[in-house]
Amino acid sequence: MLELNNLHVSVDGTEILKGIDLEINPGEVHAIMGPNGSGKSTLASVLAGREEYEITEGDITYSGADLTELDAETRAREGIFLAFQYPVEIPGVSNTYFLRSALNAIRDHRGETPLDAMDFLSLVKEKAKLVKLDEKLLKRPVNEGFSGGEKKRNEIFHMAVLEPKLAILDETDSGLDIDALKIVSEGVNALRDGERSFVVITHYQRLLNYIVPDFVHVLKDGKIVRSGGRELALQLEDQGYDWLETEPATVGA
Amino acid sequence: MSQTATTAETFIDGLDAGIGSIEGESEAILALRLEASRSFAATGVPTPKQEEWRFTNLKALAATPHDLGGPATADISPWRLTDSHRLVFVNGRFADTLSQIGELPEGVTIGSLATALSAENERAVFALGKGVDLESHPFAALNTANFVDGAFIHLNRGAVVEKPIHLLFVSVGGDGPIWSAPRNVISADPTAQATIVEHYVGTGGETLTVPVTEFQLAPGANIKHVRLQEEGRETRHIALQTSRQGRDSRLESVALNVGAALSRTNIDAELGAPGAHASLDGLYLVEDAQHTDTQIKVRHAAPHCTSHELYKGILDGKSRAVFNGRIVVDPGAQKTDAIQSNRNLLLSAGALVNSNPQLEILADDVRCTHGSTVGRLDEEAIFYLRSRGIARSTAESLLTYAFAAEIVQEIPVAEIRERMERHLVERLPQGELAREAF
């Protein structure tokens, strides 16, 4: 589904990702862990199509096509979803309207007819329950006045409505208490259907107790320095990231 | 002779001015006209050397002779409201056949100011010019010396007008440049209530509109007011609005500037007795080479008054906006609560804003805040929308529309609100989509 091949990425002339190789198949959950500044969020942004990131070497293939050719909105319509680390407040634009525009843009891209207001409303209510999102937040401007936890739940709610093929969760666990973390994780797990793939970016192992990954990759200084199964995350929890300096790197999933 | 005076004289000659008069108007009015005429002759057309006119250059106007607009007719169907008390003025002259005042509640006078003055209506004579500082406002002096007509609204104690009062001013251009000077006097006795739409439009041609609108609110009076300026693109529009408010009165005014090549709106608001509230908000929407200038002075002359000013601007092309806001708190005006904010959104690299909010506080127990921002659309917000599948152009329109919505939603008359929404839709690439969001 997604294949990164020797991916090098720079921002303002500074190289952040220094040769990433990664292959994600349908239905897989990949966790990307690593210390602050290792390039985790850059990876998420590049996949979502943020324009200030320059790919200097390597390529990204998504569903057999060159992903770098597509702008951010086309990627979203092709099924890529990024749950933001810091969801953006959009004053004046209601959460429901925003989501309906997004969903209909995606449906239009797939050659489907737009959902009418009634069908959309019942869909939205059903999905809001999934992440226990207060219905009053549907009418409010996107993320405006939402608590930190509500913002993160709203991201998962958007994901549930838009039903992407590949969901990238960028530190969705940061700032969440354990109850909110469980709700978010349950929302994500409900969307695991054997076809949809996930990239779960996190600094902490804790999230992976709830969203159990198939693969764990450790990103350090712009490179994947180690890949393994779920047990790698537990090892990192015990030993931190420093021990990886001394071990030989094994690259690839 | 100074350069200013020379231009003024050319301009006055060109304007076919001197002073005007209305048949049957009183000596007092005539004296006021003379004083105004002298005042304008002394100050002349302002130049950018004067602080208040630093960013608005009238050199081209001063060099263009304008004739006072004569009677004309116009098709007003594009601007009619479905249900209102309507007064229409064409080139500053009352158009009886186009007006439809309809049935009025008891104690309400709505009609031509000229008619009121020639009948020596005491209220009209008393109110006229009371709130106008002729020296500070040369164009108001020009108006005072020359006005032919305008609206006169008087509400007796406790009178309530349910339907909006629609004052429609149509500029009808001729062969050469013409000008008009509508003069409006609105006075509300204690606890009276009305919604007034002051609406400036044009049928094309090079015109100059120099309106003056005076509000007087007695204790407990409540006036909602929307001023929509959507004149033609060859028009210059230089306006003054004054308000003087009594105890516990409330003025909620929204100013919308969309049209004209050059528009300048001065607002002088005085809160003269405890408990008075003025909300003076606005939205300007300019593009191409349009120039819009707003100058607001709110004077808190008594304790326990509140004022609220929120002005938003959306600029495209090579347009320019000037905002000068001044809050003056007199000594003794304790417990003043005043907010002033000017926020500008630039949609192009060529647009320019000069924003200058000022406070002059001579009391010590007050709460005053002011601020201004000039910025572009938030790229982070655009990316967020795009990352969910929304096209860039739609995202931009949506955010721009949302920026304006805060003011648009305040407009007290639905049809005017819809007109403003249509202006937004027309200016935005994906405006129709964005409009559905609200």
Query: Residue B380: closest CA among chain A residues belongs to which residue?
Result: A88
Chains A–B, number of C-beta pairs less than 8 Å apart: 80
CA distance A75 to chain B (A): 8
What are the tens digits of pLDDT across the range B97-152? Answer: 999 999 999 999 999 999 999 998 999 999 999 989 999 999 999 999 999 999 99
DSSP at A94: B
Q: Among partner residues A50, A102, A103, which is closest to B383 by beta-carbon distance?
A: A50
- Asked if the interface predicted TM-score (ipTM) of this complex is over 0.90, the answer is yes
Whole-number pLDDT of residue A37: 87
Q: Among partner residues A73, A93, A106, which is closest to B398 by beta-carbon distance?
A: A93
Share of chain B residues as helix, strand and coil, in percent rounded to the nearest 5: 25, 35, 40
List A residues 89-108 in contact with B (Cβ-Cβ < 8 A).
89-94, 97-99, 101-103, 105-106
CA distance A97 to chain B (A): 6
Whole-number pLDDT of residue A248: 53
What are the tens digits of pLDDT across the range B74-97? Answer: 999 999 999 999 999 999 999 999
B427 phi/psi in degrees, rounded to 5: -85, -15
CB-based contact B389 A105, cutoff 8 Å: yes
CA distance A73 to chain B (A): 4
* Cα gap A114→B109, rounded to integer Å: 53
In order of A41, B150, B294, the CA distances from A36 in angstroms are: 9, 69, 49
* Cα gap B432→B191, rounded to integer Å: 41
Ranges of residues in chain A whose predicted pLDDT is under 70:
245-253
Q: Band the pLDDT of B43: cuts 50, 70, 90.
A: confident
List A residues 168-207 in contact with B (Cβ-Cβ < 8 A).
none
Average pLDDT value for residue range B394-418: 93
* Cα gap B402→B198, rounded to integer Å: 25
Q: What are the chain A neighbours of B438 within 8 Å (beta carbons)?
A: 92
Query: Residue A141: closest CA among chain B residues belongs to which residue?
Result: B402
Contact status, residue A38 vs residue A29, Cβ threshold 8 Å: no
Q: Among partner residues B387, B401, B402, which is closest to A76 by beta-carbon distance?
A: B387
Contact status, residue B130 vs residue B270, Cβ threshold 8 Å: no
* Cα gap B406→B403, rounded to integer Å: 7
Whole-number pLDDT of residue A250: 55
Tracing tokens 């609105």 back to the chain, one arrives at: B186
Q: Among partner residues B378, B383, B433, which is closest to A72 by beta-carbon distance?
A: B383
Chain A interface disruption, residue of B312, B343, B345, B386, most A CBs within 10 A: B386
Both tokens assigned to A14? 């500074």
Whole-number pLDDT of residue B97: 96
CB-based contact B437 A97, cutoff 8 Å: yes
Residue from B259, B262, B294 nearest B280 by CA: B294
Q: Band the pLDDT of B174: cuts 50, 70, 90.
A: confident
CA distance B297 to chain A (A): 29
User: On the CB side of A2, how many CA atoms lie within 13 Å of its CA?
Assistant: 32
B259 phi/psi in degrees, rounded to 5: -100, -165
Whole-number pLDDT of residue B2: 32
CA distance B30 to chain A (A): 52
Q: What are the chain B neighbours of A109 within 8 Å (beta carbons)?
A: 389
Range B6-35 burial, b when 16+ CB lie within 10 A, else e? ebbebbbebbebeebebeebeeebeebbee
Residue B148: strand, helix, or coil? coil
Query: Residue A79: closest CA among chain B residues belongs to which residue?
Result: B389
CA distance B385 to chain A (A): 8
Whole-number pLDDT of residue A54: 93
Range B51-84 burial, b when 16+ CB lie within 10 A, else e? ebbbbbebeebbebebebbeebebebeebbbeeb
Contact status, residue A67 vs residue A75, Cβ threshold 8 Å: yes
Whole-number pLDDT of residue A249: 53
Query: Residue B386: closest CA among chain A residues belongs to which residue?
Result: A73
CB-based contact A72 B386, cutoff 8 Å: yes
Chain B interface residues (partner A, CB cutoff 8 A)? 378, 380-381, 383-392, 394, 398-399, 401-403, 405-406, 433, 436-438
- Planar angle of CA B297, B298, B299, nearest 5 degrees: 115
What are the tens digits of pLDDT across the range B303-315? Answer: 999 999 999 999 9
CB-based contact B403 A88, cutoff 8 Å: no
A162 part of contact set with chain B, CB < 8 Å: yes
CA distance B335 to chain A (A): 30
Assign residue B227 a region: left if phi > 0, alpha if psi is -120 to 50, beta otherwise?
Answer: beta
| Range in B21-25, B57-61, B217-221 the model is least confident about | B21-25
User: What are the domain boundaries of chain B?
Assistant: 8-271, 379-438
Whole-number pLDDT of residue B131: 87
CA distance A247 to chain B (A): 38
Q: What are the chain B neighbours of A162 within 8 Å (beta carbons)?
A: 388-389
Q: Band the pLDDT of B374: cuts 50, 70, 90.
A: very high
Tracing tokens 């200084």 back to the chain, one arrives at: A221
Chain A interface disruption, residue of B387, B399, B424, most A CBs within 10 A: B387
CA distance A236 to chain B (A): 32
Whole-number pLDDT of residue A188: 92
The Cβ of residue A137 has, within 10 Å, a number of other Cβ atoms equal to 22
Q: What is the separation, in whole angstroms, between the first and last Cα of chain B? A: 57
CA distance A185 to chain B (A): 21
What are the tens digits of pLDDT across the range B265-286? Answer: 999 999 999 999 999 999 999 9
**Does residue B195 carry a pLDDT above 90?**
yes
A158 part of contact set with chain B, CB < 8 Å: yes
A210 part of contact set with chain B, CB < 8 Å: no
CB-based contact A105 B391, cutoff 8 Å: yes
CB-based contact B386 A99, cutoff 8 Å: no
Query: Residue B409: closest CA among chain A residues belongs to which residue?
Result: A92
* Cα gap A74→B117, rounded to integer Å: 67
What are the tens digits of pLDDT across the range A93-147? Answer: 889 989 999 999 999 999 999 998 899 999 999 999 988 899 899 989 999 999 9
* Cα gap B190→B181, rounded to integer Å: 29
In order of A77, B230, B298, B314, B414, the CA distances from B258 in angstroms are: 37, 5, 23, 10, 17
Q: What are the chain A neighbours of B388 within 8 Å (beta carbons)?
A: 76, 81, 98-99, 102, 158, 162
